[in-house]
Chains A and B, each alone.
Chain A
């Protein structure tokens, strides 16, 4: 496409401004995490200073950040593992077998994306409470409890994304493997899964990001034993005073892994974020 120079210059100017508006707050905030306490709130902002790690040290050890980091990791990795375990076989069936209700079921899975978290979070709290009082099964403030709850948004996404990856493979693949004596499950395990592995990794990463960033369900259902990193970020705001340096140190710990994963994943990202509806 040939573009007139004036139009191109205009596009560059606008896009550079947009990119600056996106990146500037993120960078400026991240820098604050490395500022010593006396210049956290200096005005005009101090840009030149001796970077320090004391905020990270404080957040990580004095405020037990490592515990929350561990909790976040257990919950995110655990819930993604469960979602993959349940979702990958289902996705395979949706991609390979034709059956009467498959289309309706897939549409039903998309419709789950519309449900606001409060609609499931609220009854979950009450259900866990009744389970505890009635049957003595404690799920509130436990890792299994949160991992089960997170399936509400992870499992439909895993099924939709993986169905797309399975559908891209030719059916002849398993058929020839089955002719050679593999069972259907054997062919799936030995022949199909290795080929579709990059898709599994992409699905796992995107779902990890969603679980990692989750705040609402954790706020309702997690307690002292299972607090996640996003939950603790808010504790650095006290009505009278905000510990900005410490807060941004926590923000950095939440953000950094996700940004690294995003850079790895960026080509598959759109597919996942749109729930694969756009295929």
Chain B
């Protein structure tokens, strides 16, 4: 078994003993064998760790490096410009606009999908028949490719033959062009995002509710506590870690929104639906301003890092990680 770490003197003495005293005069191969025995976990972990450092950490370092120079795909010369790219990005109206849009997505998509998902999780506990079928139906949007969801809703929302307008027409409401107007496009995209992801919140909350102990709820009900008070004082506090996980995952995903917007509006009209991911993609690949996009992506990483670090701290107060 593994060597157990502990504060006891015996352990420390034992480790000391085996490390130095035993090894004196033993052949190198034996010492090497003992070393591999003590560090054997690294043989299992190292391959995965090396690849992760290579595909996640190195690109971020590379990106940070690129952001300090002026690099384009077109020119060979790469002068050092310091923080100029960051200044340009923060002073750029389009960048600020897309950052604001991203924040809008995060706030409304996360809160919308959370409230809807939570409500469905509460409602499904009140029914008995068809629960399994309902769960199955609700899983479908989660597993659809976001790009398929976006294309599907493009069709649903078409002003001429889309089902949404056909349905509204039944009530005498004339055809709407929701995706073409600056005032409605952003909200429409958010609603589609909610459509896809509220089932995820539902699944998480429902799984959390299934693990709650029954006794406190039963005794509260016996004592005649109202169901609202049971919800406020028992369900919500006990579900806190689960709720935080759901919010954290949704926040992180809403922050990176790209696919749905790319196929539904491609950032338009007039940049009202442009997200940070989309804007940086365009900066790098349409306008070939690689180092400026790199600076923007580093800013984006810092921002989401800050948000998730705050949420993490709340989370770890409750959940003891294995």
Closest residue of chain B to A14 (Cβ to Cβ) is B123
> B12: CB under 8 A from chain A?
no
Q: What is the CA–CA distance of A127 and B71 in the complex, to the nearest angstrom?
A: 13
Cβ–Cβ contact A127 & B59, under 8 A: yes
Query: Which residues of A have CB within 8 Å of B163?
Result: 24-25, 28, 45
Query: Which residues of B have CB within 8 Å of A106?
Result: 321-322
Closest residue of chain A to B210 (Cβ to Cβ) is A270
> B258: CB under 8 A from chain A?
yes
| Binding stretch for chain B, among A50-58, A62-70, A194-202, A250-258 | A250-258
> A105: CB under 8 A from chain B?
yes
> B300: CB under 8 A from chain A?
yes
* Known contacts A43-B161, A152-B55, A216-B259; is-contact A113 B44 (Cβ 8 Å): no
- Report the minimal beta-carbon distance from B172 to chain A, rounded to whole angstroms: 14
> A1: CB under 8 A from chain B?
yes
| Binding stretch for chain A, among B26-34, B80-88, B152-160, B178-186 | B152-160
Closest residue of chain B to A89 (Cβ to Cβ) is B44
Q: Per-position contact with B for A248-279: 1 when CB-CB < 8 Å, else 0?
A: 10010011001101110010011001110111
Q: Per-position contact with B for A88-110: 1 when CB-CB < 8 Å, else 0?
A: 01101110111110110111010
Cβ–Cβ contact B322 & A25, under 8 A: no
* Known contacts A7-B126, A42-B161; is-contact A209 B143 (Cβ 8 Å): yes
Closest residue of chain A to B204 (Cβ to Cβ) is A274
Q: What is the CA–CA distance of A94 and B204 in the complex, to the nearest angstrom?
A: 25
Cβ–Cβ contact B255 & A92, under 8 A: no
Query: Which residues of A have CB within 8 Å of B49?
Result: 90, 105
Cβ–Cβ contact B321 & A103, under 8 A: yes
A-B interface pairs (CB < 8 A), number:
271
> B136: CB under 8 A from chain A?
yes
Q: Per-position contact with B for A20-43: 1 when CB-CB < 8 Å, else 0?
A: 011111101100100000000111
Cβ–Cβ contact B127 & A107, under 8 A: no
- Report the minimal beta-carbon distance from A124 to chain B, rounded to whole angstroms: 6
Query: Which residues of B have CB within 8 Å of A114?
Result: 252, 304-305, 308
Cβ–Cβ contact A122 & B294, under 8 A: yes
> A278 contacts which of B5, B125, B207 (Cβ < 8 Å)?
B207
- Report the minimal beta-carbon distance from A229 to chain B, rounded to whole angstroms: 8
> A159: CB under 8 A from chain B?
yes
> A234: CB under 8 A from chain B?
yes
Count residues of chain A with CB under 8 A from any CB of chain B: 103
Cβ–Cβ contact B48 & A123, under 8 A: no
Closest residue of chain A to B156 (Cβ to Cβ) is A25
> B222: CB under 8 A from chain A?
no
> B147 contacts which of A86, A109, A230 (Cβ < 8 Å)?
A230
- Report the minimal beta-carbon distance from B143 to chain A, rounded to whole angstroms: 5
Query: Which residues of B have CB within 8 Å of A258?
Result: 143-145
Chosen A-B contacts, 28 in total, with CB atoms closer than 8 Å, are A12-B127, A14-B123, A21-B195, A22-B195, A86-B51, A87-B48, A89-B45, A96-B2, A97-B40, A97-B44, A98-B2, A99-B2, A102-B41, A113-B252, A117-B256, A117-B258, A152-B55, A152-B56, A155-B55, A216-B259, A237-B154, A251-B152, A258-B143, A258-B144, A269-B203, A274-B246, A274-B249, A277-B315
Cβ-closest 9 pairs across A and B: A93-B44, A213-B145, A123-B59, A90-B48, A43-B161, A116-B256, A97-B41, A11-B126, A89-B44
- Extra contacts besides A119-B59, A122-B293, A278-B208 (16): CB < 8 Å: A15-B123, A43-B160, A45-B161, A93-B44, A114-B305, A118-B281, A152-B52, A209-B143, A213-B144, A215-B147, A242-B155, A248-B155, A262-B140, A274-B245, A278-B204, A279-B322
**B residues neighboring A (CB under 8 Å):** 1-2, 4-5, 40-41, 44-45, 47-49, 51-52, 55-56, 59-60, 62-63, 66, 71, 73, 119-120, 123-127, 134-148, 151-156, 158, 160-161, 163, 166, 195, 199-200, 203-204, 207-208, 241-242, 245-246, 249, 252, 255-256, 258-259, 262-263, 276-277, 280-281, 284-285, 290, 293-294, 297-298, 300-301, 304-305, 308, 312, 315, 319, 321-322
